């Protein structure tokens, strides 16, 4: 039976239990357990829990894949589990979107990607993004015009630094469900974008005039904000019911009380109008090397004292992993394979 997303279960007021063999979501309504729902039945019920929710993820690529797993579920009603997943109403199949190299390797091998994803797009003043542009265009395409993506990255990973013109702000709408992701790379890259994203964050989203195709960069940013200012001025405007923040492996200032106290206050304020919830997401890590996650050193007491909850992603994945090898759980040093990634969506 496929994992079914504890975050989606959070939305449905579920109780999380972490046994030694993996993660079990047990509903407060015992009738669901008594009738032993099938995976499809339970996915259908959890899918309905997304109605009316306004969910915001902030963080690095690990948070982006939480977003992509949840938007795939919102779009298709099931989780992206297999190497090849449904990507269209006509039965088209494509690479699992939960890892960039799944898409890039298919492109290199000459495998199938939708023609619009592979089409050459030459726009004056717009800088292309190579293989990452293909990944961004693909993950936007399979959401069927339900997503706005102010997205670009140039060049392959070569270490922590602001070397890639990296920009990634995604907003997904489907009916009355809004899910969004905003890039934050700790001390290295603050939230930024190439156009004003707020028109798509209101209760009635408006169209945006994108200067460049998805995955391309117009050469400069229209705005850059500190994380606290971004949450106060943009995220709060979006009226989130759920706000999930993570620094993960990017450098962050664990000893800078002013920064973290300001973040705690900004997060709590952002969900005050909706009576929503704000979470600090912990970071799953491989066990075959010493911990390298700076955000694990953050004192979360200031968050919980401000009404936040700690979303125990690290503990969820560790319980799911059990005695399995790290390579069964992680694609690389950081990113989770679908079986584990879908647990967190």
Q: What is the per-residue pLDDT for 28?
A: 36
Q: Where are the domains of the chain?
A: 6-344
> How far is it, in rounded angstroms, from Cα 300 to Cα 304?
6
Residues 310-337, mean pLDDT to the nearest whole number: 94
Q: What is the per-residue pLDDT for 210?
A: 93
Q: What is the per-residue pLDDT for 165?
A: 87
Task: Return mean pLDDT, the chain.
Answer: 87
Condensed to tens digits (0 to 9), the pLDDT of residues 176-225 reads 999 999 999 998 899 999 999 999 999 889 989 999 999 999 999 999 99
Q: Which stretch of DSSP H or E encloses residue 100?
A: helix 100-109
The full DSSP string for 148-160 is EEEEE--S---SS
- The C-alpha angle with vertex 53 and arms to 318 and 92, in degrees rounded to 5, equals 75
Residue with tokens 């009355």: 176
- Asked if 259 and 253 touch (Cβ cutoff 8 Å), the reply is yes
- The C-alpha angle with vertex 28 and arms to 49 and 63, in degrees rounded to 5, equals 45
Q: What is the per-residue pLDDT for 155?
A: 76
Q: What is the per-residue pLDDT for 254?
A: 65
């Amino acid at each position: 039976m496929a994992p079914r997303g504890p975050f989606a279960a959070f939305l449905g007021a579920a109780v999380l239990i972490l046994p030694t063999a993996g993660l079990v979501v047990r509903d407060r309504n015992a009738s669901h357990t008594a009738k032993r729902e099938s995976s499809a039945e339970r996915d259908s019920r959890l899918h309905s829990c997304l109605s009316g929710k306004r969910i915001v993820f902030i963080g690095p690529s690990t948070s982006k894949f939480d977003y992509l797993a949840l938007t795939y579920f919102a779009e298709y009603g099931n989780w992206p589990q297999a190497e090849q997943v449904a990507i269209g109403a006509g039965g088209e199949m494509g690479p699992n979107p939960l890892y960039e190299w799944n898409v890039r390797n298919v492109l290199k091998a000459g495998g199938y990607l939708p023609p619009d994803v592979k089409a050459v797009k030459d726009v004056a003043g717009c800088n292309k993004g190579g293989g990452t542009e293909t990944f961004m265009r693909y993950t936007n395409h399979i959401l069927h015009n339900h997503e706005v993506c102010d997205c670009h990255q140039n060049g392959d990973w070569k270490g922590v630094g602001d070397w890639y013109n990296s920009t990634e702000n995604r907003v997904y709408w489907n009916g009355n469900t809004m899910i969004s992701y905003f890039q934050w790379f700790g001390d290295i890259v603050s939230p930024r974008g190439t156009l004003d994203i707020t028109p798509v964050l209101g209760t009635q989203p408006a169209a945006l005039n994108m200067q460049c195709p998805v995955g391309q960069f117009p050469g400069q940013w229209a705005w850059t904000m500190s994380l606290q200012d971004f949450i106060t001025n943009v995220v709060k405007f979006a009226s989130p019911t759920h706000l999930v923040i993570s620094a993960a492996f990017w450098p962050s200032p664990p000893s800078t009380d002013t920064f973290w106290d300001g973040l705690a206050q900004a997060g709590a304020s952002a969900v005050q109008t909706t009576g929503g919830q704000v979470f600090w997401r912990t970071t799953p890590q491989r066990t075959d090397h010493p911990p390298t996650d700076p955000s694990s050193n953050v004192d979360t007491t200031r968050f919980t004292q401000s009404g936040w909850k700690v979303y125990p992603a690290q503990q969820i994945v560790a319980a799911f992993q059990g005695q399995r090898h790290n390579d069964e759980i992680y694609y690389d040093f950081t990113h989770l394979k679908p079986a584990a990634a879908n647990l967190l969506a």
